[in-house]
Amino acid sequence: MLGVARRRLGSGCVLAQLAQALRPAAAPARTYSAAAKEITVREALNTALDEEMSADPSVFLMGEEVGEYQGPYKISKGLLDKYGPDRVLDTPITEAGFTGIGVGAAYHGLRPIVEFMTFNFSMQAIDHIINSAAKSNYMSAGQISVPIVFRGPNGAAAGVGAQHSQCYAAWYAHVPGLKVLAPYSAEDARGLLKAAIRDPDPVVFLENELLYGESFPVSAEVLDSSFCLPIGKAKIERQGKDVTITAFSKMVGYALQAADILAKEGISAEVINLRSIRPLDRATINASVRKTNRLVTVEEGFPQHGIGAEICMSVVEDSFEYLDAPVERIAGADVPMPYAANLERMAVPQVDDIVRAAKRACYRAAVPMAATA
């Protein structure tokens, strides 16, 4: 790997080459035309990687089975044949080792993409992610940029037990110096991964393996190689006036299903796809709550110190006087993930949980809060 870095950098000035490699993080938000076709989240991630590697020779991918096997989830399919083993590197099963190498390469102006087979394995490399990648720009007074992406599946999978099935959004969103993204749709996956690769700071990119095979409609603009989504901006997936539901990753789909059910009962739910966990789009969330006067937060992670708790505090600080009912928080059960399928389902939020929470918020709002105390 160090040999690759030397070949990429040669004997020129590292900072000059780094400056040349940096590109704008994201284009302004645009209004997109009608869907041109449907693609899976897997295809969206694969094409984003391909296009960014083609556009910038400093971008390379490393991780377990990303090359010869074409990725454990086939996200890197075809990339080894196209870019060769210098830019698609199969690593040993040693997350601490290859993550440290990736961070060092980023110090020297390359743009590594480090894939974890699951974000549970990132625990082996958390020192490099936090103490090396996240803090170096601040500790060097801005002299060192660390343009690196840590990506892979996150959150509850299916039948893989407690050590392979939990959400790390709150873990990494806690850390200054990191940006944390969590895509839901194919548009999210494509636009946010491109933004992450181009960004000058370390980005934790939390995918969901249960979404890889799901297809979503995308517009012609999304399929354009210049497409990029802004980091730090949420998307209102569905407009509503009675209750705001915030969610990210797979839970966005559950929130949309819940909104369909609520609509049949006369409740208009606004669904916000957070997309960016850090920075968090507090403005969009608060604007929605000021319209609907009610809030339900949804996440797969543990409830204590979670993303929902942060969103709730943001609304209490900025929009408390607009709330007509207490905030409802939906999260995973406060237990390690069970292995048994029936218990696993009980440990992860379901559509019915969101529907019940939204109804509680709306029905409690019909009675003065003081009367419900």
Q: Which residues are catalytic?
A: 95, 164
Tokens, residue 211:
């979404």
Residue 12 phi/psi, 5-degree rounding, is -75, 180
Burial 312-351 (b: 16+ CB within 10 A, else e): bebbeebbeeebbbebbbbbbeeeebbeeeeebeebbbeb
The distance of Cα 118 from the centroid of its chain, to the nearest Å, equals 14
- What region does 155 belong to: left with phi over 0, alpha with psi -120 to 50, or beta? left
93 CB neighbour count, 10 Å cutoff? 11
Question: In terms of Cα–Cα distance, which of 313, 322, 246 is closest to 290?
Answer: 322
Q: Is 82 exposed, middle or buried (0-12, 13-18, 19+ CB in 10 A)?
A: exposed
Q: Is the dihedral of CA 305, 310, 315, 318 positive or negative?
A: positive
Contacts of 186 (CB under 8 A, 6+ apart): 38, 39, 40, 41, 43, 44, 215, 216, 218, 222
Report the SS3 class of residue 10: coil
Report the SS3 class of residue 181: strand
- Residue 325 CA to residue 323 CA, distance in Å, equals 6
